[in-house]
Amino acid sequence: MTAGVGDVGEAEQSGGVAVVDRVAKGVEVGVGLAVLAGGARLHRRQQEARWEAVRAQGLRYGLSQLDALHHSRFEEAVRDLMRRDGCRDATRVGGGGDLGADVKATDPYGRRWVIQCKHRRNGLAGSAVGTPDLQVLNGTARQVHGADVAVIVTNGRVTAPAIAFAKQQHLHVVDRHTLEVWASGSRPLWELLRAVPPPRKPTTLS
């Protein structure tokens, strides 16, 4: 007995529905797997962020460790110390064309920090940071980078004229002694410097 036209149409329709159903189920499975994978990646990133925060809170450096770093690693260490102090957006921007800014950061009080790093492989025995270094920072930190706090950080020496110039221009100098205290983790940098501008915004730390 041959199937009628109606029977063939119903079979084709039934087969089409089955195919669509299988495709829909496949899409649901694919979406489900994608959601699970996305959730796993998000969880992993959150876990990594938590571990990074724990690591940053316990970050400490000794002067001998800082002396032994390459100048780029020294900049990264300064960035990490700012992050430890609560500057979540601290970024290393040093390199060719940095225009006097090796590290930029915003502290929990809303102040914008621009930091120039001067690493000396031989520490105090290396060449001293002089007035020309401060002049570069003074010329770009506020005008170009919008700094509220302009800082030069060194593990070496700073000349007396450079220190005098910094005071005149309201720049901040982190010399070897101040760096040692800061890197030890006892206090955030803004508590170690004099005449830091007042907070830009009220916070729970105020």
More confident residue, 33 or 117: 117
Q: List all residues 6 or more positions away from 155 whose beta carbon is below 8 Å from its beta carbon.
A: 63, 66, 67, 74, 119, 120, 123, 176, 179
Whether residue 204 has pLDDT greater than 60:
no
Q: How confident is the model at residue 47 (pLDDT cuts 50, 70, 90)?
A: low
For range 69-95, the mean pLDDT: 94
Beta bridge partners of 185: none
Helix (H) or strand (E) holding 151: strand 149-154
For 54-79, the pLDDT digits (tens) are 455 579 999 999 999 999 999 999 99
- Residue (of 105, 115, 43) closest to 75 by Cα position: 115
Give the mean pLDDT of the chain. 83
Over the stretch 140-165, which tens digit does the pLDDT of each residue have?
999 999 999 999 999 999 999 999 99
More confident residue, 134 or 100: 134
Q: Among 143, 98, 64, which residue's Cα sits nearest to residue 79?
A: 98
Q: What is the pLDDT of residue 42?
A: 82
143 near 108, Cβ under 8 Å?
no
What is the pLDDT at residue 151? 98
